[in-house]
Amino acid sequence: MALVSLAVVGKRNEPLYIREYTSESIVYPAGDGLAEIGLTLEGLMSIDGDDMNVAPGTESCSLRHQFILHSALDRLEELTAGNRWRAPGSVGSDAMWVGMLCPVDELKVYGYLTTTKIKFLVAVEDIFPPDQKQQLHARENEIKSLFANIHALYVEYMLNPFTNIESSIESRRFEEGVKSFVDAFNSSGLSVA
H helix or E strand, kind and range, residue 7: strand 3-9
Number of residues binding to another protein, judged by CB under 8 A: 30
User: In b/e form, how buried is each residue of 35-67, taking b as 16+ CB within 10 angstroms?
Assistant: beebbeebeeebeeeeeeebeeeeebbbbbbbe
Residue 172 binds another protein (CB under 8 A): no
Dihedral sign for Cα 27, 30, 31, 33, please: positive
Among 58, 66, 93, 186, binds another protein (CB under 8 A): 93
Closest to another protein by CB, 50 or 166: 166
* 83: contact with another protein by CB under 8 A: yes
Q: Which of 12, 129, 131, 133 binds another protein (CB under 8 A)?
A: 12
Instruction: Figure out which of the listed residues 7, 72, 96, 124 binds another protein, where binding follows CB under 8 A.
Output: 96
HSE-up (13 A, CA, CB side) for residue 102: 15
Under rule CB under 8 A, residue 155 binds another protein: yes
- Do residues 34 and 12 lie in contact, with contact meaning Cβ atoms separated by under 8 Å? no
Residues lying near another protein in the complex (CB under 8 A) are found at 11-13, 77, 81-84, 86, 88-93, 95-96, 114-117, 151-152, 155-156, 158-161, 165
